[in-house]
Structure formats: structure tokens, C-alpha cells
Amino acid sequence: MALTLSKNAFHGKRTGPVVIVVMDGVGLGPDYAGNAVKAARKPVLDQLMATCPWTKLAAHGVAVGMPSDADMGNSEVGHNAIGAGRVFDQGAKLVAQAIADGKMFAGKGWNEIVGNSLAKSSTLHFIGLFSDGNVHSHLDHLKAMIAEAKKRGVKKVAVHALIDGRDVGETSALEYTEPFEAWLAALDPNYGIASGGGRMNITMDRYEADWSMVERGWKTHVLAQGRTFPSASAAVKALRLEKPGIIDQDLPPFVIERGGKPFAPIIDGDSVVFFNFRGDRSIELSKGFVGEVPFQRAKVDVCFAGMMTYDGDTNLPPRILVEPPVIDRVLSEYLIGMDVRQLAVSETQKYGHVTYFWNGNRSGYLDQSRECYIEVPSDRVSFDERPWMKAAEATDALINELTKRPYGFARINYPNGDMVGHTGVFEAARMGVEAVDLVLSRLLPVIKKLNGVALITADHGNADEMYEIDKKGGVKMENGRPKAKTSHTLNPVPFIVYDPAHAGSYALRTDIAKPGLANVAATALDLMGYQAPEGYEPSLIAWR
């Protein structure tokens, strides 16, 4: 049954599209030397903020379904909130709750995983992002599962650690590996880290941008092929000495050896848990175990589970430990019900965010007769080398399509502030923000000509804090240089309304206690001439 909307008094007064522009990773950060957004030359954004209605939106913590306001937002939950118009409890919160109340360990998925290891006296493997960043995973979740496995009598546990340095400090790996290895050794001498490598070197590709990463991960985790070290901490130390200046996310793969042979390759009969709760960087390796991949590999007959469902449309993986949020009645569905034609554009790195995550974690078209999705292939280089990324090409695609046929609604994601921000290179991040500002100078005149409106915002912060901040609010120093920060931030994001044809028709509301990303959907509907559906967070505008 089609979802429908009621019209408001503004219906029919706009002939052009409402376009949501997501400047990924462009937050409103502190005024300090590490703020690449503030340092960027951005005449378009500066002019917009001087002349247009704008406000700040919460893009982290409980405003996007995370456990607490100490938790960073991310692109997944940010686009969920914008596209759904409501806040849903997200992966980190759902997993923590399932562990706390025991539902995970009473569930079918966990009991099949442990039961297989006990019945076959086989190894229980855990693969995932090795940090407490709480964006893709959390070490507390891993430790709770390992402790439960020990309680259940599992004889051998192997961890395949994807080193972070992206959602946490860029060279913080030893802060995690050393205490964790000590904890494992005290828990059981047959438990240990078996392999690892930087998350942007192996395994955690997304949107099929670079399958060679996944192939390297397969060879490392499953086949135990690669350079061997006595421990993960020893590997990190040695690899840093060999490659001065390397950051954790780029560390080469490594294999841990005990007694002259790899500690724990993955073999037939074993159990494997991918303990990431976020889907985008978990899909491809999961396909290696329970699907098809575009590289040659001998399948292993294992009992495989994901922490959560990574792709709802294909039910990948079939076995999970925690049920994901059910995100229904998304903005796109209502617009389809009202016969509003929609357009979504981004380059590969964020294409799934304007489609899959935007649509409540559903892949593919909801109704291809009323939707057009355009993916611009991303470069396969480190983004600090090309901080402009594909902003120009994505803008070309958006403008071409908007001027070719009528659309009522469009959305575009510019990944620069986030993807370049994650490299930790300040000047590159500054240039990335400038690239986004430059393409806005081309896009906004087209929207004006079409009698449309642009809602310019971000899904979370990143480039707004490129240097770590000390307790006194200054820049942390390391070896005489600012210590780079590669993670997201807790800062709010801008929300700018560019609407030259209807300037003065409305104002931004000041009575919403803590506006967040979930308020954007109702605002877009308001400007398209529709009342927001029941349960949506309220519109940010008040009509005059």
C-alpha cells in the first residue's frame, strides 16, 4: 500500500526541486589551528551563512541513535536519520543492550556459533575493527563475547584485528593491542590474536570500490599468508619502524605465529563471527564466506555469523547475533506515494549513503519508475593526494539530470570533508572543503534558475578538527608537530536554507530544544508543499 501525504498551504507554489546537499564531514568546530573548515577559502558558504537562514544541527550521540552524547556520529546513522525523519536506536546501542540483557547469548545465532565450535572442537574466530571508536565496532563487545565463549567451554579463540587509526587516534594501535593481548593471555593461553592489518589496507572495503583489499584480507585471515610476527603489538612496532610516518589504518597485513607456524588459519569446521555492527564495510568479506566474490579463493566450510544484518535486501549474512533496527516509512517512500520523482547522486565512496542508508538500509531502487540513482566512480588513490575527489563530476551529473527532466526532490553527497579528513592531512582536508565550496558556486545558480531550494548540511563533523586538542583546549603536539586527528567529531553541523524565490516566506524555528539531522526530512517536505507524516521530527521552518 502506497504511503501518502497531506498537502500544506505552500503546495504548488514551488516549481523547482528541493535539493539536499550533504557536505560529508563538514562540521562547525572550535576556532583553533586544526579547523580545516574554518581555514578553507569558501566564499560561497561564507556568503550563504551571511545572507540565508541557517542553524546548527546535532549530528552525534542520541540525536542519531547512538548510546550517549559521548559517541560520535557517522555517515551511516546520519543518513539514516536524514532519510527517515526520525531517530532509531543504532548498531552500537542495540549491541550493547543485547549483551547487557543477555539476549545475544540466549539467541539462536550465538548458540549455533558456539555449538559448532564445541561439537567439532574447532576454533572460534572473531574478525572486526579493533578499537573502541563505536562507529563500526567496540572492543567491549568483543571482550564480552570472548568471555562468554570461555564460560561455555570453547577451547580455542582467534581474533583477526583490523587496526583502526581512523575512528580513533591515527597511531593509537598499541593502546589497544598491548592490554588486549595481556587480557587474552590471562584468560586462556589458547586464546590470541591470529592476524591483522590496517583497515584501509585489508578487508574493510565498501561499495565494491577495491576488491583487492578484501582479497588481501582473505589471504591474511583465512589462509594465514603473509609476514609473521610473535604478536600483534610486535607487528605494529616493526611495521612502523620499516615505514616511518605510516598511520594505523594503512598498516600492511600480518600473521601471528606460534611454535613456528600460523596460530590460527580459518579451516573447515571452524566458527567465524564478523563483530562489526555497521554494514557498509562488512558486506564484501561476508560474501567471501557465504556468497560470491570476484577473486579466486577456495571456500571454507565454516559456521559464519555477522554481528547484525549487513544487507537487508539479500539477507546477508543469513546468521546474525543481534537484530538490526527496522527503519520504516522513510522519506523516499512517501515521495513515491505522492508521485514525486527523485534523484540521488554521489561518487562511489558515499553512493550507498544516498541510497542504501538513506532508504532505511535497503539496497536497490524502491521504485525505479520514480527514482534515478547516479554513481560516479571514485578514484583509487589516497584521498589526500586528490582532495577534490569527484566533486566536479558528481556536480556535473546532478546538474545534467536536473536540467534534463523535472524532479521534485534530489540529494547529493560530497565526501571530501570526511574521506580526506580521515587521512589526517590538514592541508588536504582544507582543499577538500574548498573543492566543495567551488562546486556549490556552479550548483546553486542552477537550482535558482529552476525555482528550487537547496538545503545544505552535513552528516557529522570531521575536517573541523584535524589536530587533537589537549585538556586546555590547545593543539596536542607529537615530535614537535601537531598530532593529527583522523576521527569524526562531536561538533554540530550547519543547516542552511538557500531559497531565493521565497526569501522571507518563512523563518527558522527557535522553539525546538535540540534540532538534529532527523528534522531535515520534515523541513524538506514542508518546502515541497506537504505536511510531515505522523511521528516525524518537526520541520525546522515556521511560515509567516
Boundaries of every domain in the chain = 22-89+327-505, 92-306
pLDDT confidence of residue 67: 85
Name the residue type at position 4. Answer: T
* Dist CA 201 CA 239 (whole Å): 13
> Which three cell numbers, joined as nine digits, stand for 302?
565454516
Peptide bond before residue 230 is cis, with ω within 30 degrees of 0: no
> pLDDT category, 220, cuts 50, 70, 90?
very high
* Dist CA 213 CA 216 (whole Å): 5
* Dist CA 459 CA 60 (whole Å): 9
Q: Tell me whether domains 22-89+327-505 and 92-306 share a fold.
A: no
Three-state SS at 305 = strand
Q: Please name the residue that has the C-alpha cell 572495503.
A: 205
SS3 string, 204-271, reads CCCCCCCHHHHHHHHHHHCCCCCCEECCHHHHHHHHHHHCCCCCHHHCCCEEEEECCEECCCCCCCCE
Mean pLDDT of all residues in 69-93: 93
Cβ-Cβ contacts under 8 Å for 443 (sequence gap 6 or more): 19, 21, 395, 398, 399, 454
> Which three cell numbers, joined as nine digits, stand for 140?
567491549
pLDDT tens for 315-336 read: 899 999 998 888 999 999 999 9
Q: What's the CATH fold of domain 92-306?
A: 3.40.1450
> pLDDT category, 146, cuts 50, 70, 90?
very high
Tell me, what DSSP letter sits at residue 316? Answer: B
Q: 22-89+327-505 in CATH: which number?
A: 3.40.720.10
Question: Shortest CA distance to 117 belongs to which of 143, 149, 161, 146?
Answer: 149
pLDDT of 544 over the 70 cut: yes
Tell me, what DSSP letter sits at residue 355? Answer: I
pLDDT confidence of residue 313: 61
Cβ–Cβ under 8 Å, residues 20 and 540: no
Cβ–Cβ under 8 Å, residues 305 and 321: yes
How many C-beta neighbours within 10 Å does residue 377 have? Answer: 12
pLDDT of 471 over the 80 cut: no
Phi, psi of 12 (to 5 degrees): 90, -10
pLDDT tens for 111-145 read: 999 999 999 999 999 999 999 999 999 999 999 99
Cβ–Cβ under 8 Å, residues 327 and 521: no
* Dist CA 239 CA 228 (whole Å): 11
What is the Cβ-side half-sphere exposure of residue 199, based on CA atoms within 13 angstroms? Answer: 27
pLDDT confidence of residue 85: 98
List the catalytic residues: 75
pLDDT of 162 over the 90 cut: yes
Phi, psi of 507 (to 5 degrees): -135, 160
pLDDT tens for 192-204 read: 999 999 999 999 9
pLDDT confidence of residue 176: 98
Question: Shortest CA distance to 205 belongs to which of 298, 295, 303?
Answer: 295
> Which three cell numbers, joined as nine digits, stand for 215?
582479497
pLDDT confidence of residue 108: 97
pLDDT confidence of residue 18: 98
- The Cα-based distances of 533 to 329, 335, 511, 517 in angstroms read 9, 11, 20, 16
Percent of the chain with pLDDT over 90: 90
Cβ–Cβ under 8 Å, residues 281 and 205: yes
Question: Shortest CA distance to 342 belongs to which of 362, 364, 375, 371?
Answer: 371
pLDDT tens for 391-430 read: 999 999 999 999 999 999 999 999 999 999 999 999 999 9
Mean pLDDT of all residues in 347-355: 96
Mean pLDDT of all residues in 215-227: 98
Three-state SS at 530 = strand
E-state strands within 121-209: 124-130, 157-163, 191-198
Counts for the chain of helices (H) and strands (E), in that order: 17, 19
Percent of the chain with pLDDT over 70: 100
> Which three cell numbers, joined as nine digits, stand for 178?
598491548
Question: Shortest CA distance to 110 belongs to which of 265, 312, 307?
Answer: 307
The β-bridge relationship of strands 342-347 and 453-457 is unpaired
| Distance in angstroms between the alpha carbons of the first and the last residue of the chain | 35
Cβ–Cβ under 8 Å, residues 57 and 515: yes
> Which three cell numbers, joined as nine digits, stand for 277?
555492527
pLDDT of 312 over the 70 cut: no
Cβ–Cβ under 8 Å, residues 370 and 303: no
What is the Cβ-side half-sphere exposure of residue 449, based on CA atoms within 13 angstroms? Answer: 9
* Dist CA 309 CA 360 (whole Å): 13
Question: Shortest CA distance to 73 belongs to which of 357, 268, 428, 310?
Answer: 357
pLDDT confidence of residue 314: 76
Mean pLDDT of all residues in 276-289: 94
pLDDT confidence of residue 318: 95
Mean confidence (pLDDT) of the chain: 96
Cβ–Cβ under 8 Å, residues 484 and 428: no
pLDDT confidence of residue 363: 84
Q: Please name the residue that has the C-alpha cell 574548498.
A: 434
> pLDDT category, 509, cuts 50, 70, 90?
very high
Element at 346 (helix H, strand E):
strand 342-347
pLDDT tens for 226-261 read: 999 999 999 999 999 999 999 999 999 999 999 999
Element at 429 (helix H, strand E):
helix 426-449
Cβ-Cβ contacts under 8 Å for 237 (sequence gap 6 or more): 174
pLDDT of 1 over the 80 cut: no
pLDDT confidence of residue 274: 98
pLDDT confidence of residue 324: 82
Question: Shortest CA distance to 57 belongs to which of 525, 503, 523?
Answer: 523
Cβ-Cβ contacts under 8 Å for 100 (sequence gap 6 or more): none
Query: What value, to the nearest 5°, has the Cα angle with vertex 197 and ends 196 and 200?
Result: 140
> pLDDT category, 40, cuts 50, 70, 90?
very high
Of 333 and 209, the structure prediction assigns the larger pLDDT to: 333
> pLDDT category, 70, cuts 50, 70, 90?
confident
Cβ–Cβ under 8 Å, residues 10 and 527: yes
pLDDT of 155 over the 70 cut: yes
pLDDT confidence of residue 187: 98
pLDDT tens for 511-541 read: 999 999 999 999 999 999 999 999 999 999 9
* Dist CA 7 CA 15 (whole Å): 15
Tell me, what DSSP letter sits at residue 295? Answer: S
Phi, psi of 62 (to 5 degrees): -65, -20
Phi, psi of 55 (to 5 degrees): -150, 180
